[in-house]
Amino acid sequence: MLRLADHLDSVNAKIAVVVRWFVLAMALIQFGIVIGRYVFGINSIAVQESVLYLHAALFMLGAGYTLLVDKHVRVDIFYAKASPGKRRAIDIAGHLLLLLPAMAALAWWSWASVRNSWKILEGPISVGGIEAVFLLKSLIPAFCALVALQSIAALLRLLSKRPPQ
């Protein structure tokens, strides 16, 4: 089980190596937009939208990695004061009863929109924008898959350990 969990971890780790560069790209593009607009009087809707696309991809594709490194938002009302055994039980219940069903529901309900967007190769958000909204919408099922994979990896690790006495 741990080998499978390691393999699932590597999927999000490899994606994170690529996605982390999106931050630099966004900053450089935004800098270029500001210089272009205020120094040269040049503006491009497509370039502006590229920052939006990168931002969306950064968060949607990086969410699984965030779960991998345990930097996700956690409501610590009960968890912080719980014993290791109770924390393990809370984590298992959270993955099985909340996270995985939420990812399945989001993937299910978004699939028709994503499929239809690909069917018509949905165009830009704004006139003159990037003609690839279908790619932007595809981030939703990708997000669901990556977070679900990471959740399964975490569950495998939790279930392979003996509960603390």
Average pLDDT over residues 10-32: 97
Q: Is residue 165 part of a domain?
A: no
**C-alpha distances in Å from residue 141, one per residue of 5, 22, 117, 136:** 21, 19, 13, 10
What phi and psi values does residue 55 have, to the nearest 5 degrees? Answer: -65, -45
Q: How far apart are CA 57 and CA 165, in angstroms?
A: 42
pLDDT for res 162? 59
Contact 129, 46 (CB under 8 A): yes
Contact 147, 81 (CB under 8 A): no
Residue type, 125: I
Q: Is residue 98 part of a domain?
A: yes
79 or 164: whose pLDDT is higher? 79
74 pLDDT more than 80: no
Owning domain of residue 21: 2-160
Q: Name the residue among 140, 133, 148, 74 with its Cα closest to residue 106.
A: 140
User: What does the pLDDT look like over 121-132, one tens digit per residue?
Assistant: 999 988 999 999
Structurally, how many domains does the chain consist of?
1
Whether pTM > 0.85 for this model: the answer is: yes
Q: How far apart are CA 152 and CA 135, in angstroms?
A: 26
Contact 137, 62 (CB under 8 A): no
Q: Is residue 149 part of a domain?
A: yes
